[in-house]
Chains A and B, each alone.
Chain A
Amino acid sequence: PASDAPFNLGREALPEEIAAWDVDVLPDGRGLPVGSGDVWTGEEVFVEQCASCHGDFAEGSGNWPVLAGGFGTLADEDPVKTVGSYWPYLSTAFDYINRSMPFGAAGTLSADDTYAIVAYILYSNDMVDDDFVLSNETFFDVEMPNAGGFVLDDRAELEYAHWSAEPCMSDCKDPVEITMRASVVDVTPETEEEASAE
């Protein structure tokens, strides 16, 4: 067919193909499927599919990610960054869980299951009541606490301007002393066998 494509390579993607692969959800809700799920259904699905890594209350387990809590800790020495305390958009939670969770069995959740899981995570974060039903209709009833917590990359103004002067070459400071040593922390794999063991 006549085309202004320079090489006329590839072929037209079919609607079914686009629907199968294009499942991303934008912050304004575009891409959300029709469906719904309530907190209690979410708890059942969560306990079955998610709790072995993320804990019964989304509090995390072992080294696995914590999904709930951590409010007011972002300026602490050890911030706890969760869906509730850190994530700016609920769309990301739906999108990521629907596409990439559970770890090891991604893409197996129905839209309704995903709504229910997200509702349960919101409940675990004390962001909704236990009778809340999350759906494509109620999606924006939820306020994300840290939605305003992000700024665009401002290194150019705040840093580059200051760190572009001709640097000092001699007698730049007093003789130095060691203030911290990795050998004291001692967490580096020490032998080749240990380090390369997979």
Chain B
Amino acid sequence: MNMDDFAKTSRRAFLRGSAAVAAGTVAGKAAAQDAPDPLITELQDWATFTGYGVDETPYGLPIKYEDDVVRRNVAWLTASPISSINFTPIHALEGTITPQGCAFERHHSGAIELTKDDYRLMINGLVDRPLVFTYADLERLPRENHVYFCECAANTGMEWAGAQLNGAQFTHGMIHNMEYTGVPLRALLAEAGLDAAGDLSDKWVYVEGADASSNGRSIPMEKALDDVLVAFKANGEALRMEHGYPVRLVVPGWEGNMWVKWLRRIEITDAAVESREETSKYTDVYEDGTARKWTWEMDAKSVVTSPSPQMPITHGTGPLVISGLAWSGHGKITRVDVSIDGGVNWQTARLGKQGDTKALTRFYLDIEWDGSPMFLQSRAIDETGYVQPTKEALREARGENSVYHNNCIQTWYVNEEGVAENVEVS
């Protein structure tokens, strides 16, 4: 299958849904219509007969014509789909909130079913009172709402050594962004009491899930007392099973692995546990063979979501919306620059709205496309002044084997037909 076929396959639903005319050949500006449009001049079924009743769909799914906006997995990436990853269709989404139903999953021993009745949360270790909470207890503590991105540490990790997967969904889709409702972790720790821990500055919070993998991670006390949430709702409703129902940890700005799902235990310790997920995994090997550990923050990053390999330009020349996402674990996105010539020249894009701290931010650049090939890039800048680096700069600093934390500038090559491809450029 060649690139054109790939593009057509990805856009099948779009093409099927419109009675349209051959893609890519329509002139840019409003063109004269030489014959009346039957979609207007002929009476259509939907304007004659009735649609579905309000009793049809107690809980709805997207209309069938959007059936390409789904999670996808890449079977060869892992040994088993039980300890694996899938990808959010960020190429097809807009705004910043990720619909939960297509928000990516990463499990180490599968998505488990844990009822609210069976749920227990234990706090133990260096606390005044080791406690057990039920789900109902958690709902009685004062709540907060915050929007944050959750990005897997391995997002874009397959791209360290070169351009490999063809689509923003695959290269950048280990991410979702939701509005969480929950209880600050510090409020739960206050219930257990931290006097027994003494000086908190060298204390740790070890968190683990109820699943077989447990996914235990150590979090320094300073972060635990700052903005970590024990969340039980996302985007207004209960967490999805695959996202930790009924309770997960939300660790703003930090690598997704630490967002422990099906959270069952919080232990105050005087040292990091150095669990499997912070030694064997989620440590980043340098070129000289040494490795960084405790690389918690996700640095500033961005990607053009459209045009992109799964979102070719099908409307020909003329006005073109370049749309993308930017985010930073260090705070707010303050600026995104876009280049159409591979980084030779840059224009500052327009933010969909003011960036929120540690949350996805939408950006746009509206251009007149003359049909010339483009090398699309985006470059995020956050409120600390950090500028998203090129892959070259990252590789120079770290080599090609760090696996995690690849926040490089992405390049899409868009050809004269409007078909886009994942490339690296000089």
Contacts and interface: CB of A to CB of B under 8 A. Distances in A.
B164 A176 contact: no
Contacts of B23: none
Contacts of B273: 24-26, 95
Contacts of B265: 21-22
Contacts of B232: none
B9 A192 contact: yes
Interface string A55-99: 000000011110000000011011101010011110110011001
B291 interface: yes
B36 to A, nearest CB: 35
Nearest to B10: A192
B423 interface: yes
B191 A9 contact: yes
A6 B212 CA distance: 33
Interface in A86-115: 86-89, 91-92, 95-96, 99-100, 103-104, 106-107
B165 A188 contact: yes
Interface string A150-187: 11111100111001110111111111111111110101
Interface string B370-384: 000001000101001
Contacts of B68: 192
Contacts of B214: 99-100
Interface stretch (A11-19, A35-43, A119-127, A131-139): A11-19
B296 interface: yes
Interface in B60-86: 67-68, 70-76, 78-83
A28 B131 CA distance: 26
Contacts of A92: 274-276, 279-280
A195 B337 contact: no
A5 interface: yes
B73 A195 contact: yes
B213 A106 contact: yes
Contacts of B79: 53, 62-65
Interface in B236-294: 264-265, 267, 269, 271, 273-276, 279-280, 283, 285, 287-294
B312 interface: no
Interface in B281-336: 283, 285, 287-297, 299, 309
Contacts of B129: 3, 5, 12
A27 interface: yes
A103 B9 CA distance: 37
Interface string B386-398: 1101000100010
B89 to A, nearest CB: 10
Contacts of B137: 9-10
B425 A176 contact: yes
Nearest to B283: A150
A73 to B, nearest CB: 8
Interface size on B, as a range, is 35 or more
Contacts of A173: 343-344
B101 interface: no
B274 A26 contact: yes
Given A100-B212, A151-B290, A155-B299, A164 B385 contact: yes
B426 interface: yes
Contacts of A26: 269, 271, 273-274
Among A103, A170, A174, the most chain B Cβ lie within 10 Å of the Cβ of A103
B166 A103 contact: no
A153 B141 contact: no
A153 B164 contact: no
Given A64-B79, A171-B344, A192-B12, A181 B289 contact: no
Nearest to B206: A24
Interface in B102-126: 108-109, 122-125
B367 interface: no
B5 to A, nearest CB: 8
B421 A81 contact: no
A176 B130 contact: no
B3 interface: yes
Contacts of A175: 341-342, 344
Nearest to A175: B344
Nearest to B125: A22
A25 B141 CA distance: 31
A44 B294 CA distance: 36
Contacts of A169: 337, 345-346
- The 9 lowest CB-CB distance pairs between A and B, nearest first, are A74-B289, A176-B342, A75-B289, A63-B79, A106-B212, A182-B422, A10-B131, A13-B130, A180-B424
25 contacts: A7-B141, A7-B191, A10-B131, A10-B191, A13-B130, A21-B122, A22-B265, A26-B273, A26-B274, A74-B289, A81-B280, A87-B279, A100-B109, A104-B82, A150-B290, A160-B386, A164-B387, A175-B341, A178-B423, A181-B423, A183-B166, A183-B421, A187-B74, A190-B1, A192-B68
Interface of B: 1, 3, 6, 9-10, 12, 67-68, 70-76, 78-83, 108-109, 122-125, 129-133, 137, 140-141, 162-167, 170, 187, 190-193, 206, 208, 212-214, 216, 264-265, 267, 269, 271, 273-276, 279-280, 283, 285, 287-297, 299, 309, 337, 341-346, 375, 379, 381, 384-387, 389, 393, 397, 400-401, 413, 421-426
Given A22-B124, A106-B109, 4 more contacts: A7-B141, A88-B274, A96-B275, A189-B74
